[in-house]
Amino acid sequence: MVRQIGLQALLVLIALRSSFSKAVHVITIIIGDNPALGYVAQSPGYDVAFFRAVGLYPDALRNVTRQTIYRPGAFSCSEAAEIMPFVAVQISNILDEHRLDFNVLISSGCSHEVMTLGDFAREWNVPLLTTIAIDPSLTNAQRYPTIVAFPSSDQVTLIRAIMSLLDRFSWTTISLICEDQNLRVSDVGVYYITACRGFLTVLGGQNHKYNLNVQYFNPKVKEGDLDAYSSVLRNAATQSRVIILLIPTNPRLRDFI
């Protein structure tokens, strides 16, 4: 919701900036089908943001057009970055077709992916809005003068928010369910594994205050195999009042729920 509101606001500001001179053409770049960064997870949010913005500000957005560049597949962050130069050729062709418009790029990519795209955006002198990437180097205005970043919460903020909820409701018996990092089959869940370590460090370091029960699930278990999760969930249910799930894919999250 926050991301949709942010996109709405930026679309309106961009449209107002050029409303008296140029049409606005928005190019959304989505690489792969990562459950957090990919097409299915991100594209509907952009669609809703644009639809609502047009409904609220029809005059300001009457000259805005959109298109999406989507590369299907299962890519790691580094692999997506390697693909970006090839995508840049496609973007360059679109920019040529819309050279009389005010062009804007939107990317839901990870930091490495956005770094590569940001270098191209600098040479094109085209604004690049990022919604996921959080690497501090993206704030380097000399290298990335056209990047505008409004990413989702980082892991530190996530942990702080959860800790505030625990303290607010005096919850002290907690189960943390994470993917077994020793059995990890791809880097899709790296964010969640790192977040799991963060919770372990913070909660484990306050064992006088919290009773922490940690459960790991096998990421190699086929999605939909509900029996494989039963023992993990039974242990969590009997040993805690609150369960924190750090699950890297939507189908597996549905299995747990």
Structure confidence by residue, pLDDT tens digits, 24-62: 899 999 998 876 667 777 888 888 888 888 887 787 777
- Looking at every residue in the chain, the average pLDDT score rounds to 81
Q: How confident is the model at residue 1 (pLDDT cuts 50, 70, 90)?
A: very low
| pLDDT mean over 206-223 | 83
What's the pLDDT at 68? 94
Q: For the domain 155-256, what is the CATH code?
A: 3.40.50
Mean predicted confidence (pLDDT) in 176-191: 64
Give the C-alpha distances (Å, rounded to integers) separating 126 from 19, 109, 129, 148: 17, 17, 10, 11
pLDDT-based confidence at 170, cuts 50/70/90? very high
Which one of 51-65, 101-115, 168-182, 210-224 scores highest in mean pLDDT?
A: 101-115
Domain at 2-149, CATH homologous superfamily: Response regulator (3.40.50.2300)
pTM greater than the 0.75 cutoff:
no
DSSP letter at 183 equals: G
Please state, in angstroms and rounded to a whole number, the distance separating the CA atoms of residues 158 and 129. 22
Q: Which one, of 8, 42, 9, 10, lies nearest residue 28 by Cα?
A: 42
**In the structure encoding, which two tokens stand for residue 31, read together?**
């690489």
User: In the structure, how many helices (H) and strands (E) does the chain have?
Assistant: 8, 8
The whole-number pLDDT of residue 8 equals 55
What was the pLDDT predicted at 189? Answer: 57
Domain with CATH 3.40.50.2300 in the chain: 2-149
Check residue 77 and give its pLDDT.
82
Distance CA 74, CA 114 (A): 17
- Residue 117 confidence (pLDDT) above 60: yes
